[in-house]
Copies of this chain bind each other. A is one copy, B any other.
Amino acid sequence: MSKTRAYISVSLDGYVAGPNETMEEPLGENGERLHDWATALRSWRELQGMEGGEDNASSAVIADDNANVGAEIMGRGKFGPPARGPWDAGDPWRGWWGDDPPFHKPVFVLTHHAREPLTLSDTTFTFVTDGIQAAHDLARQSAGEKDILIGGGAKTINQFLAAGLVDQLDLHVVPLILGGGARLFEGVGPALRLELARVIDAPGVTHLRYHVSREGR
């Protein structure tokens, strides 16, 4: 059965980005260090069209994270730019990823500001202004039998968790204290039920997979 799932790297103190996001540091102070375990891997680098890298116990996790995804939903915060508000009419922001984004599938961007779809190579970004359920319905149609990935950031994942729309959550727990930034689970509330499904211990990261449900659903 197709699932709705999320995976995200999180610091030991519960942040998925550090404090003070800027154009130069879109993940905030020290936030890039959350992904050191991944960027060192051959499998991650292949997905970005890069060469080199190593193989370790995280390689299979990267493969799992990105397998069978039919559509992705992301927040305006992930799509960017850091300065929010209406899109620049003359030269609207086209994402962080250049002319060949690494998604290769339909991406639905949650925003308060309407905009025509943007196609870059084989990725089409569709901008959704009527909330997470609407985005989920659109992504479900696009994904078919495949999974929907809630791609982040924290606020978006938290909204989907709170709404009971996430079936599986993969946390990549990095032994790092960020001391501030974007907090996972903020506002999610105590009705969420999680059950550990898998633990993988790898260099610089611990991978915890949870099956998620919500009381009353």
Task: List residues of A whose CB falls within 8 A of some B CB.
Answer: 12-14, 18, 29-30, 173, 175-179, 184-190, 192, 194-196, 199, 201, 206, 208, 210
Q: Bound state CA distance, A197 and B189, in angstroms?
A: 31
Residues of B within 8 Å of A192, CB to CB, are 177
Q: Are A188 and B199 CB-contacts (below 8 A) given A13-B14, A208-B206?
A: no
Contacts of A201 in B (CB 8 A): 196, 199
Among B18, B30, B185, point to the contact of A12 (Cβ < 8 A). B185
Interface of A is mostly: loop
Contact status B206-A177, CB under 8 Å: no
Residues in B whose Cβ lies below 8 Å from that of A30: 190
User: Apart from A18-B190, A179-B188, what 14 extra A-B contacts exist at CB < 8 Å?
Assistant: A13-B185, A13-B186, A13-B188, A173-B208, A176-B190, A177-B185, A177-B188, A177-B192, A196-B201, A196-B206, A199-B199, A199-B201, A199-B206, A206-B208
Q: How far is the CA of A97 from the CA of B196 in the complex (A)?
A: 33
Distance between Cα atoms of A112 and B87 in the complex (Å) = 54
State how many angstroms separate the Cβ of A155 from the closest Cβ of chain B. 15
